[in-house]
Amino acid sequence: MSAARWRRAMSASVGVSMPARSADVPRLVPLPVLATPKTFWFERIGARVKPRHLVVLAAALLYPFVASPFFAYQIGAQALALGLIALSLTFLGGYGGMVSLAQMTIAGFAGYLVAIFGTSSVAGVSLGWPWWLAAAFALLGATVLATAIGWLSVRTEGIYTIMITLAVGVAFFYLAQQNYTVFNGFGGFSKVAAPELFGIDFKQPVPFYFVALTAALAGYFLVKHLVRAPFGIALQGIRDNPRRMASLGYHVTAHRVAAYAVAGFLAAVGGLLMVWYNGRISPGTVNLAQMIAILIIAVLGGMRHPIGAFIGAVVYVLLQNFAIDLFVRERFNLVIGGVFLSIVLFSPDGLLGLWAKLRSSLSQTRISQPKRRRP
């Protein structure tokens, strides 16, 4: 109820402007309010869809037919799966103001659960449930874990949140590495395959790409929807000023824990894709380097908009695969580090920030409008 009131208050002043920018300097010219009392859903969507959205969607749909199977699978599908995990961090960090390092842990936990409930090479541990049941319980279990991690860490802020989620992640890594009864220790599980459905083998590059694309699109639109919904608006309010939100009657902790749960679900879907992609899971999938990789992807792409996670993932995967061809082979990590550093150095908002800068400078030179004065 209170959230609805908050939304009304918000929409009176900024309408449906991009909530992600609410942290920015307020704009001098408020965007026009689009919401008229009675419109059909497709009209509302149509008003928002711009040519560039269609271009990106068409490119994503046509990509596997143009690209080689290697590009469809190892670059495309992997970037979508990693992007989905990074998206969960973008949602938490960009809209909730909570940077969690444990997103890869949640994804890995979902992957482990699929292997444990479903079929794998370790017959002594795996229960052999049908894939859909295993996947459903994996998503559920990982979301519960995410909620628990959230419940544990929401009482902290900033660097302490990072520390506590780091601790959880590293603890899980060691648990997985040393427990043999459930996690099968160092070796982990292999032969965890994507299912075959309606005569389509989803292990194959192109079908798997579309599974990943569907999941990524669903996750993307879920986040886009949520950040405009009362819950998301309240979450952003909490990010910007938790005290004021608390005094307005919002349950700050509950909103934050809920944000962890949503992000956890997204990460779990990403983890499911990762385990199907690799066909296996072992402690190496959830080690410290992988946990940090998710943060790198999110920061690289930019945390101001959900698409940043996917842009970051594409750049990350391309670098992981091709940096070794660019320079002295023994020194390829120098290339990866150099690119990451220069992106963050020249654009603290990641690649999205670079794009925004480029666009604003282009539009300024074109119409040569006077510089905006800050209010």
Partner 1 sequence: MRAMKKKVWVRSIVGMAAATALMGSAWAQEALKIGLLSNLEGPFAVPGQDGYRGAEMALKEKNGVAGGKKIEFIKLSSDATPDKAVAMTRKAVEQDKVQVMIGPLSGDEGIAVKNYAKTQPGITFVNGSSGAQATTLADPATNFYRFNSEGAQWMVGLGEHALSKGYKKMFLISEDYGFPYSQVQGFMASYCAKGGKIVDKAWVPLGTKDYASVIAKIPKDIDALFVVLGGSDAVNFLTQYEQTGGSKPMVGGSITVDQTVLNFKGKRRESLLGTASAGPMADSIDTPEWKKFVADYKAQFKDGFPSPSLFAYLYYINTKATLNALDAVKGDLSNGQKAFRDALQKTDFKGPAGDIRIDANRNGVGTTYITEVTKAADGSFYNKVVKAVPNISQTLGLPEAEFKKMGLGSRDVPDCRK
Using DSSP bridges, classify how beta strands 200-201 and 196-197 pair: parallel, antiparallel or unpaired.
antiparallel
CB of 69 to partner 1, least distance (A): 7
**Residue 187 CB, nearest approach to partner 1 (Å):** 6
Q: Please, what is the minimum distance in Å from the beta carbon of residue 64 to partner 1? A: 14
C-alpha distances in angstroms, 168 versus 93, 165, 266? 17, 5, 18
Q: Which is nearer to partner 1, 201 or 240 (CB)?
A: 201
Torsion of CA 97, 101, 106, 108, to 10 degrees: 150
Closer Cβ to partner 1, 13 or 68, answer by number: 68
Only one residue has tokens 């603890």, namely 171
- Which of 39/68 has CB closer to partner 1? 68
With respect to partner 1, which residue has the nearer C-beta, 179 or 363? 179
**Side chain identity at 68, as an amino acid letter?**
S
Write down the least CB distance from residue 196 to partner 1, Å: 15
Nearer to partner 1 among residue 11 and residue 278 (C-beta): 278
Give the residue with the Cβ less far from partner 1, 187 or 242: 187
Is 191 or 357 the residue whose CB approaches partner 1 more closely?
191
> What is the 3-class SS of the chain, one letter each residue?
CHHHHHHHHHHHHHCCCCHHHHHCCCCCCCCCCCCCCCCCHHHHHHHHCCHHHHHHHHHHHHHHHHCCHHHHHHHHHHHHHHHHHHHHHHHHHHHHCCCCCCHHHHHHHHHHHHHHHCCCCCCCCCCCCCHHHHHHHHHHHHHHHHHHHHHHHCCCCCHHHHHHHHHHHHHHHHHHHHCCCCCCHHHCEECCCCCEECCEECCCHHHHHHHHHHHHHHHHHHHHHHCCCHHHHHHHHHHHCHHHHHHCCCCHHHHHHHHHHHHHHHHHHHHHHHHHHHCEECHHHHCHHHHHHHHHHHHHHCCCCCHHHHHHHHHHHHHHHHHHHHCCHHHHHHHHHHHHHHHHHHCCCHHHHHHHHHHHHHHHHHHCCCCCCCC
CB of 174 to partner 1, least distance (A): 8
Q: How far is the CB of 186 from partner 1 (least distance, A)?
A: 4
Is the Cβ of residue 329 or residue 371 nearer to partner 1 in the bound state?
329
Please report how close the Cβ of residue 229 comes to partner 1 at its closest, in angstroms.
36
CB of 157 to partner 1, least distance (A): 33
Please return the burial class of 84, using the count of CB atoms within 10 Å of its CB with bins 0-12, 13-18 and 19+: buried
Smallest gap from residue 287 Cβ to partner 1 (A): 8
Contact residues: partner 1, CB under 8 A: 68-71, 73-74, 78, 174, 177-178, 180, 185-187, 190-191, 278-280, 282, 284-285, 289, 320-321, 324, 329-330, 332-333
Residue 265 vs 316, nearer CB to partner 1 = 316
